[in-house]
Structure 1
């Protein structure tokens, strides 16, 4: 009987999470971030003569840089509190993770604090991204060499 009383009390005290609203906010904010990235891509293609194949890298670098600036000025945290995963999933979440760790450890100095802790969280993202790219490239190489595809 005590377990049932505990569960009843827990249900009364625990705030209700508005899951559909949180999903909608994450979807909209993530979509807006991606739309900004697409607009930056178009600007690079129009003004700097990039092609659709070459515009990806400068666009990603710009988005990460903008997220880092917003994090440095304390605005990305507000966006993250509002949007949740909608601000963490796009590439801007990577920039936020890197700079947040650097800001948190800046009191320990530039080398041991900022430099040593900057990629603690983002390091695993980089590692698994590189390993995944290696295996995809290996599969592509094998498929091309046996003549299955002509990528």
Structure 2
């Protein structure tokens, strides 16, 4: 029995060594650089949109920030619909996922996969497949936190 256990352990070591040899080595520096550049570019574009809303449209800081978020979500969803955002995501990784445009991509991508099934049963039914649980738990936890904040401010 001990000999059999030793053989299995050696097989695991050989298998791990084999997997390590054939697995592609990630290019960390390239991945980090692309994520930084793409994420930074998205943020610079967002800042430019925000400044344009404030200076050209005359919006105050809060209205401009809200309008910028809406615009970036629209751009992310639109580029996902065209298939461009997925190409950016393949190269940029987290640089395209972290900004708010990545949120738009996570909502639209599952819906685009099922568009052949129609707008109601395909797009509509799958629109919030990925982002739905995030929204439900995010909104639910914010309500819970708001409730506790309200209760604790009454105590004072």
Partners in 2 of 1:16 and 1:80 — Cα distance? 19
Classify the secondary structure of the residue corresponding to 1:20.
helix
Structure with greater proportional helix content:
2
1:36 shift after superposition: 0.9
- For residue 30 of structure 2, what is the aligned residue in structure 1? 21
Partners in 1 of 2:82 and 2:18 — Cα distance? 41
- Paired positions, count: 147
Partners in 1 of 2:27 and 2:102 — Cα distance? 23
1:68 shift after superposition: 1.2
**CA 1:7/1:90 → structure 2, altered by over 3 Å: closer, same or farther?**
same
Q: Which runs of 5+ in 2 are unaligned?
A: 1-9
Q: Which runs of 5+ in 1 are unaligned?
A: none
1:73 shift after superposition: 1.4
TM-score (structure 2 length as normaliser) = 0.84
Classify the secondary structure of the residue corresponding to 2:120.
helix
- For residue 55 of structure 2, what is the aligned residue in structure 1? 46
Deviations 1:59-94 (A, max 9, x none): 111001001111111110111000111111111011
TM-score (structure 1 length as normaliser) = 0.86
1:23 shift after superposition: 2.1
- For residue 141 of structure 1, what is the aligned residue in structure 2? 150
Partners in 1 of 2:142 and 2:86 — Cα distance? 30
Q: CA RMSD in A?
A: 1.8
Deviations 1:109-136 (A, max 9, x none): 1111111111111112221331243244
- For residue 115 of structure 2, what is the aligned residue in structure 1? 106
Among candidates 11, 26, 49, match of residue 2 of structure 1: 11
